[in-house]
Amino acid sequence: MNKFLVFLEQREGIVKQASINAWNRVQELAVLQANSVVTGILAGPADTRQLDGRMAGYGVLYHAGDKRLRLYHQEYYTRFVEDIFNRERCSALYFADTALSRDLAPRLSVRLQASLLSGCTTADADRAGVSRPVYSGSSLAFFVPERQPRIYILSSCAPKSSDPVEGHINVIDVVPQCFTAEDIFPVVRQIVMREGPPDVAEARIIVAGGRGMGGAEGFTLLEQLALLLGGAVGASRAAVDEGWRPHADQIGQTGKTVAPALYFACGISGAVQHLAGIGSAGIVVAINSDPHAPIFNVADYALIGDVHIVLPKLLDSLQEFLKKQ
């Protein structure tokens, strides 16, 4: 029997949508393979009722609600996941593509002596291989791991819908056996943003800007549009390199891979590195003054014009529309 283990990441007790998407994708893979089951692992205090109707299929979720696992710690998380993986005799371990997984997965690949494949977009049920974009997303390559077991980092994928999914997950509370009497959990200072826009990696609507915004002040229009739509503000590498936005907002090959239902590309030319980060986006709306910009090749809707003229008119139209609702 193949047993797939999916790591669910939480922050402040909220399970990341990217992890839930990864679980649902692995469930689809398990259906294609005979005698395959999916098991989940969640470290840190979290209300598992938030997962009802969001996690597809059937399986078991091991939840260690120990408060000492509330914040990510390399060694303790590694010990905990390794313990569950070995105890359940899993054949593969899956992560969503996040900053935490990029740090934790390589450590586990060494401890478990496993093959590690990152940036995966699809999985082949027969050959236990994966596809991933190469050459800045211009080509798709297929990889088959030589070593067992296997660890996969799945790139962001958009959920098929926001409707409740069918399934039932049996949550089992576990006491982690990964701590010793000598372990300490120092927290010097913790800063938590209680309010604000969602992370671009989690947002279902993203309003992104590039060099065409002209400067940091140009992103004020994007912030207004994102606030109106309940979305997040993203940026191209060019805008981040100019210092107009923080690196946390960067989308693309060297930034974050996103999968929003709606993506606005404002003043973004559409370099291949940026397109590699939005391949899973639903509807793409592009606003650019250059009618030959590569972004229009992937856009569902194209608005040719100066973003500083188009965006204010778009904002006015949306505000008028919302007032009538």
The CATH architecture of the domain made up of 2-173 is: 3-Layer(aba) Sandwich (3.40)
Q: Please indicate, yes or no, whether the overall pTM of this predicted structure exceeds 0.85.
A: no
Reported as a pLDDT band with limits 50, 70 and 90, residue 154 is: confident
Would you say 58 and 169 are in contact if contact means Cβ atoms under 8 Å apart?
yes
**Same fold flag, 2-173 and 205-324:** yes
Reported as a pLDDT band with limits 50, 70 and 90, residue 217 is: very high
Would you say 292 and 314 are in contact if contact means Cβ atoms under 8 Å apart?
no
Would you say 264 and 127 are in contact if contact means Cβ atoms under 8 Å apart?
no
Sequence ranges of the domains in the chain: 2-173, 205-324
Amino acid identity of residue 145, one-letter, is P
pLDDT digits (tens, 9 = 90+) for 229-249: 999 999 999 999 999 999 989
Mean pLDDT of 61-82: 92
How wide is the angle at C-alpha 19 spanned by C-alphas 2 and 247, nearest 5°? 135
Mean pLDDT of 122-147: 71
pLDDT digits (tens, 9 = 90+) for 255-276: 888 889 999 999 999 998 899 8
- DSSP-based three-state secondary structure for 317: helix
pLDDT digits (tens, 9 = 90+) for 272-317: 889 988 988 999 999 999 999 999 999 999 999 999 999 999 999 9
Amino acid identity of residue 263, one-letter, is Y
Amino acid identity of residue 37, one-letter, is V
Q: Cα separation of 96 and 75, whole Å?
A: 19
Q: Cα separation of 166 and 147, whole Å?
A: 34
DSSP secondary structure string for all residues of 93-157: EEEESSHHHHHHHHHHHHHTT-EEEEEE-EEETTTTEEEEEETTTTEEEEE--SSSSEEEEEPP-
The CATH architecture of the domain made up of 205-324 is: 3-Layer(aba) Sandwich (3.40)
